[in-house]
Structure 1
Amino acid sequence: MKVWIDQDLCTGDGLCEEIAPDVFTLLDDGLAYVKEGDKIFSEPGGVEGLAEFPDSQLDAVIESAEECPGECIFIEA
């Protein structure tokens, strides 16, 4: 599975990072980005920052997307 964040919609609330810290991180610009291991997909972000995540994180990623106030988290198969 893959996930990306539309930074134009991100409110910087940080719920995604709280729910799934292995997949999401907030950077100094106050916006959330996806990560794959130690690699943070911040340049570019958005749809170009599509990161794979392990199946074990699926429930947390779905919860992050559902709880996100900016509705900016997109999950792809």
Structure 2
Amino acid sequence: MAEERELEVSIDQDACTGDGLCVQYAPDVFEFDIDGLAYVKDADGEILNTEGAQAAVPPKRRLDIVNAAHDCPGECIYVRDRADRTPVAGPEAD
């Protein structure tokens, strides 16, 4: 079986609507900060609130993260291949 590629996820807060679907899909990866916008979290659960911050996608959450990117009303979730940064889901993906 082919090894699955590692993914990373980021959120563009300028486009975030604060709807919260991402937090419902994967609360261990996404969280609201005090500004009412969603952010990604690192493996220790810390919010990464610097602009353009990326978090590794846990293998068990791959489908949830991709679905969150597809369903996000703000189209602000970017899922990319960690190795070559190819868009997998979100606004840049085909």
Aligned residues: 74
- Supply the distance in 2 between the matched residues of 1:36 and 1:14 (Cα, whole angstroms): 18
User: What letter is aligned with 2:26?
Assistant: A
Larger-Rg structure: 2
Unaligned 5+ segments in structure 2 are: 1-6, 82-94
Which structure has more relative contact order (CA 8 Å, sep 6+)? It is 1
Matched with 1:8 is: 14
Contact 1:36 1:53 in 2 (8 A): no
Alignment partner of 1:51 is 2:55: yes
- Supply the distance in 2 between the matched residues of 1:63 and 1:21 (Cα, whole angstroms): 13
- Supply the distance in 2 between the matched residues of 1:23 and 1:66 (Cα, whole angstroms): 16
After the TM superposition, which of the residue ranges 29-38 and 4-13 deviates more from structure 2?
29-38
TM-score if structure 2 supplies the norm length? 0.75
- Supply the distance in 1 between the matched residues of 2:37 and 2:57 (Cα, whole angstroms): 19
TM-score if structure 1 supplies the norm length? 0.90
- Supply the distance in 2 between the matched residues of 1:67 and 1:2 (Cα, whole angstroms): 17
Matched with 1:69 is: 73
- Supply the distance in 2 between the matched residues of 1:27 and 1:40 (Cα, whole angstroms): 8
Unaligned 5+ segments in structure 1 are: none
Tell me how far 1:54 sits from its aligned partner: 1.1
Aligned match for 2:32, one of 26, 31, 34: 26
Q: Percent identity?
A: 46
- Supply the distance in 2 between the matched residues of 1:26 and 1:58 (Cα, whole angstroms): 20
User: What letter is aligned with 2:54?
Assistant: L
